[in-house]
Amino acid sequence: MTQNATQQLAGTEKWQNLDGHHLHPFTNPNDLKQHPARIIESANGVYLTDTEGNQYLDMMAGLWCVNMGYGQQDLIKAASAQIEQLPYYNVFFKTSHPPVAELSALLAEVTPAHMNHAFFTSSGSEANDTVLRMVWRYWDLMGKPGKRVVISRKNAYHGSTIAASSLGGMDEMHQQGGIIPDIVHVDQPDWFAKRCELGKDLDRAEFGRSVAKSIADKIEELGVDKVAAFIAEPIQGAGGVIVPPETYWPEVQKICDHYGILLVADEVICGFGRTGEWFGSDYFNIKPDLMPIAKGLSSGYLPIGGVMVSDRIADVLINKGGEFNHGYTYSGHPVCAAVAVANIKLMQRENIVQKVREETAPYLQKRFRELGEHPLVGEVRGVGMFGALELVEDKQAYRKFDKNRHVGIICRDYCFENNLVMRAVGDAMIISPPLVTQKADIDVFIERAWKSLEQTQKKIA
């Protein structure tokens, strides 16, 4: 071992020892005792570098968030300038500051035309907590305080605070903390899972309409006088990049309009260009009443989220509501807001959404579907700059692996060995690369992903 390699290893061990005091999110702490964390110490463009000099192609954009890639000087300079001028002040008590005012106006410009007001948070989880408070407050002001039930979907992810995890539909999270009352869950529009369950082919259009109808059925069961809203991600992200059939969202919109319940489109992952449109709501032609945002808002450079509020909701809150007793110390934090402003302006200046829609995403989706030729891959799905490979035991018989075999985890670990970051959700291998990913990077990704699939197949044979 060279002297440099020895020094790198010593540095890694130092940070791993210190990291022993750190309880990681969504991690079995005992696993880290046995296998200490890899230590990422730098990043540039779409690549990460660890303390041992390994470079990883980051096909997850951090955690769905580093949309404009690492090392963007405009964002770095915006943070530095703002922290020197005004590092912090709150937006309570009839007070504001230039960055949050400018960000509010910019968001009104890029979000759907009927959304012209923003409430700021520090994360997507806080945004969805805010949604719940806002939905209940709206119906209270409308003289219908009994409308409190929010319908969500099984396997949805809306965050990990108590309210956000309750809105989500992940059993493992509910088992560790329960869910708050007045939140119910209906089926998700997962065509592939349903096809595997039935063991035969399934008409996508009919499935899309039928799974949307489960929302109407639930409203009828509970009574429309009790149902306040329906919340869903345009495309489910952490649930496995579930792309709904084309018939699904038009039917959902009709149902919400027919029953007069609020529609909440959770854009925390889909927002800011990931679908090839500014928002998933644009892609699917949804007209939401509330729209949680985060992640790509600042490209993950600083923590900031929020809720975009439609004109009809804002009108009630402003003209009938009085004081809205909700907010956070860091709502509209000036440094975070300044970075978000710089991020949106950078996206506009580089026409990144158009480039994704017309150039990068078509190439990614074309090459990504080549992986569907591998014997392990039962389905390839994706839109814009994200997608999933569903690993199966028998693609002809629509048979999935026994979940206890952890095939997705095996494949994920091979990806790391091959200097590639993909995420495993069950046996779905998912991607969400930075929007600035180039065609050459996509070629590298396909090569490394294929190699990882080959190694996985050999391991489980």
Rounded Cα–Cα distance for residues 14 and 422 (Å) = 27
Closest CA to 453 of 396, 381, 385, 368: 368
pTM, two decimals, is 0.96
What are 6's two structure tokens? 């020895």
Give the number of other CB atoms < 10 A from CB of residue 457.
16
Rounded Cα–Cα distance for residues 16 and 50 (Å) = 12
What are 108's two structure tokens? 């009104």
Q: Are 211 and 189 in contact (CB under 8 A)?
A: yes
Please give the pLDDT value at position 10.
75
Band (3; pLDDT cuts 50, 70, 90): low
Question: Considering the chain, what is the average pLDDT of its residues?
Answer: 96
Residue type (1 letter), 132: L
User: What pLDDT digit, counting tens, does each position of 204-248 carry?
Assistant: 999 999 999 999 999 999 999 999 999 999 999 999 999 999 999
| Contacts of residue 20, Cβ cutoff 8 Å, sequence gap at least 6 | 32, 33, 36
| Coil/strand/helix, residue 302 | coil
- Percent of the chain's residues with pLDDT above 90: 94
Distances (CA, A) of 173 to 5, 165, 169: 41, 7, 8
State yes or no: pLDDT of 6 exceeds 60: no
Q: Are 123 and 333 in contact (CB under 8 A)?
A: no
Rounded to a whole number, what is the distance in angstroms from the first to the last CA of the chain? 35
Instruction: Kindly report the length of the chain.
Output: 461
Strand positions, DSSP E, 37-83: 40-44, 47-50, 55-58
User: What pLDDT digit, counting tens, does each position of 107-125 carry?
Assistant: 999 999 999 999 999 999 9
Q: What is the DSSP letter of 243?
A: P
Q: Are 384 and 356 in contact (CB under 8 A)?
A: yes
